[in-house]
Amino acid sequence: MYSSFSLLSLASLALASPSLVSVSSEVGDVIRRALPDSPSGGYAPAEVKCPSTRPTVRSAKNVSQQESDWLRTRRGNTVQPMIDFLRGANIPGFDAQTYINNHRQNLTELPNVGIALSGGGYRALMNGAGFVAAADSRVAGSTDQHGIGGLLQSATYLAGLSGGGWLVGSIYANNFSTVPQLRDGSAGSDLWQFSRSILKGPKENGISILNTASYWDDVHDAVDAKRDAGYEASITDYWGRTLSYQLINAKDGGPSYTFSSISRSPGFNDGNQPLPILVADGRLPNEKVVALNSTVYEFNPWEMGSFDPSVFGFVPLQYLGSNFSAGSIPDNERCMSGFDQYGYVMGTSSSLFNQIALRNISSEKVPSFVTNAIEGLIERIGQANDDIAVYHPNPFYRYNTKTNPSAEETTLTLVDGGEDLQNMPLHPLIQPERGLDVIFAVDSSADTDNNFPNGTALRATYDRTAEPISNGTRFPVVPDAETFINKGLNQRPTFFGCDPKNYTTGGRANGPLPPLIVYVPLMAYTAWGNVSTFTMSYSDADRNAIIQNGFNVATMGNGTTGDMSTQWRTCIGCAVLQRSMLKTNTTIPAACQECFQSHCWDGTTDSRPIAGGYQPNAVIGIQETSAGVSSRAGDFNKVLGLVSAVVASGLVLVI
């Protein structure tokens, strides 16, 4: 039976797969980034010299020129990793090297791979981390017989939302370090030290309350500096600053780090890493529920904006905070930089956690000067807006005035990317302009009453592509939640879109096929990773166990669970190749046909109500920690109360 808090110790994981205890080709210390480049030297934006061609908002009819130029390098750099990955997949009767080399002169014929990591707080970060570790050829054990190592090196895009966005953000904030490096940190670092709530701050020697006060003093000073620079602050500023202490390996959580600096970082700039994307939703002030037709915004290293026809534009990320009007910065306006502070961007994608922080803040002895400041914000903006991130000036002010719902608003308000039920960041990856062939959708959503996913996030994206807001995107057909549970589609990795004719019909005529979706839901293999979204701290043992469980989910228990698990690496290779083979009129190998027969949703449904609720068993087996279930039952009941309180407020929760 399930338990939200019964976790497995790291030492017991050998029964399923290699433990994540080492990195195969890198030093153990996480590497610090070289580009803390805010012009103020801190959290606040500051004026910079405008470039000779003043920044403008560009149309979203294509990807940016920067992305297009980068893609040529990145796609070329994925060729050898993809050969290595597909050779390791060992598809009988298929010569991976010959196939890739025969098509390498036309990169559009080669597999274009994306990875999407869902929201769900620390649960999503840790489960997603297990998947990323399994996909990373630098991690020891990832390229073993049943591993999927090399998938990350073959990928073009890596997208995250909310908790998944924390993982993506942390990886790139720390020079694309591996998951074991991030988990283990370095001497004197607070990186991934989840045993102490971010509301208390980093663990230091001395009296806790004094350390907490000093920590919040630094956070408060940073937010005040942003106000002093003439910018409006929101609760997301406080949330983003605290989040950074755990996710960025730099003094005070790297207040001068910017998201746009990724574009100038060696490694990424050289096309040796996938393109990171974070996702947020647009919401007009005082709206409570974010509908599926709300505008979806993305943040990538060069730009922030949306492909949706409502806005259909992108602004240079480096110049957020400048006073754009009708698509450009007027000649009499200054160019500003540093608004895209790294923690603030991660906080924007996870702004629903503002409310979690507010509901926990009194129990963590946060200093009164902070609580007074936050209460003042709430009094001014109203309780309905405590989950927003404020982007003022609005970069899309008077841009696309006929369709942009915020065109006449001087402030753009963004919220957590999962508030429209699309709790996986699929939107940027299904854009026809990006031409992805396969997306690995890692779902850590808490859709059921015990915090497991049931396909709600997939279904939301599917439903949205049938609406006018979709702007020509296509998506494979996805069944209802009952079918996911009754047919076990959330209890094993499942492929959607194997039949390239079975997708939403709203796409552009003669447009590209929608990508194949490899759905990898959170399951209990060796640990109950279905912890509550609202749990704010984890012991190192529990953290490691949930990450290892995610590794086991990604590898189907290292090929130990039956149901084609011994061919899982082969089937992953087949999924990567499927659209490419269709484009090149290549006969699908018999082994791949067998994989698709086993892993593809067959299109049938079973919508019977779930009697007694969803209660999965562990796939391999759980060894209880010393904490056990009973010692945390009270905490679990408290969490359920928090969930009820948030739901009662009118907000939709899927994370």
Using alpha carbons only, give the angle 522, 491, 597 rounded to the nearest 5 degrees: 125
Beta strands in 507-600 (DSSP E): 516-521
pLDDT digits (tens, 9 = 90+) for 297-354: 999 999 999 999 999 999 999 999 999 999 999 999 999 999 999 999 999 998 776 5
Using alpha carbons only, give the angle 515, 519, 523 rounded to the nearest 5 degrees: 170
Q: Which of 1-10, 212-221, 596-605 holds the top average pLDDT?
A: 596-605
Specify the residue for token string 């290549």.
586
pLDDT digits (tens, 9 = 90+) for 50-72: 999 999 999 999 999 999 999 99
Buried b / exposed e along 614-626 (16+ C-beta atoms within 10 A):
bebebbbebbebe
235: enclosing H helix or E strand: helix 235-247
Q: What is the mean pLDDT of residues 600-621?
A: 89
| Alpha-carbon gap, residue 243 to 302, rounded angstroms | 23
| Alpha-carbon gap, residue 590 to 584, rounded angstroms | 17
pLDDT digits (tens, 9 = 90+) for 454-482: 999 999 999 999 889 988 899 999 999 99
Annotated domain spans of the chain: 10-648
Report whether pLDDT(189) > 90: no
Helical residues (DSSP H) of 322-465, grouped into ranges: 342-349, 353-360, 368-381, 456-464
- The mean predicted confidence, pLDDT, of the chain is 86
What residues does 297 pair with on adjacent strands? 280
| Alpha-carbon gap, residue 498 to 515, rounded angstroms | 9
Q: What is the mean pLDDT of residues 241-258?
A: 94
DSSP-assigned states of every residue in 132-193: HHHH-TTBTTTTSTT--TTHHHH-SEEEE-THHHHHHHHHHHTTT--HHHHHH--TT--TT-
Q: What is the mean pLDDT of residues 236-255?
A: 93
Report whether pLDDT(267) > 90: yes
Identity of the residue numbered 637: N
CATH class of segment(s) 10-648: alpha beta
pLDDT digits (tens, 9 = 90+) for 486-527: 999 999 999 999 987 777 655 555 667 899 999 999 999 999
Beta strands in 227-327 (DSSP E): 275-282, 296-299, 303-306, 313-316
Backbone Cα Rg of the chain: 23
Axis-axis angle for helices 568-583, 96-103 (nearest 10)? 30
Query: Is residue 30 classed as helix, strand or coil in its secondary structure?
Result: coil
pLDDT computed for residue 646 by the predictor = 36
Q: What is the pTM of this model?
A: 0.90
Beta strands in 574-633 (DSSP E): none
**Percentage with pLDDT > 90 across the chain:** 67
Contact (CB, 8 A) for 163 and 587: no
Least confidently predicted of 187-201, 334-348, 442-456 = 187-201
pLDDT computed for residue 501 by the predictor = 74
pLDDT computed for residue 1 by the predictor = 36
Q: Which of 496, 487, 400 is nearest to 457 (CA)?
A: 496
Least confidently predicted of 237-246, 566-575, 632-641 = 632-641
Number of Cβ atoms within 10 Å of the Cβ of 380: 9
Report whether pLDDT(573) > 80: yes
217: enclosing H helix or E strand: helix 208-228
| Alpha-carbon gap, residue 559 to 574, rounded angstroms | 16
Specify the residue for token string 């469980």.
549
Least confidently predicted of 181-195, 252-266, 612-626 = 612-626
Report whether pLDDT(131) > 80: yes
Q: What is the mean pLDDT of residues 238-254?
A: 93
pLDDT digits (tens, 9 = 90+) for 140-180: 999 998 899 999 999 999 999 999 999 999 999 999 999 99
Spatial CB neighbours of 76, under 8 Å, sequence gap ≥ 6: 107, 271
Report whether pLDDT(652) > 60: no
Q: What is the mean pLDDT of residues 569-575?
A: 97
Helical residues (DSSP H) of 420-490, grouped into ranges: 456-464, 481-486
Q: Which of residues 127 and 235 earns the better pLDDT score? A: 127
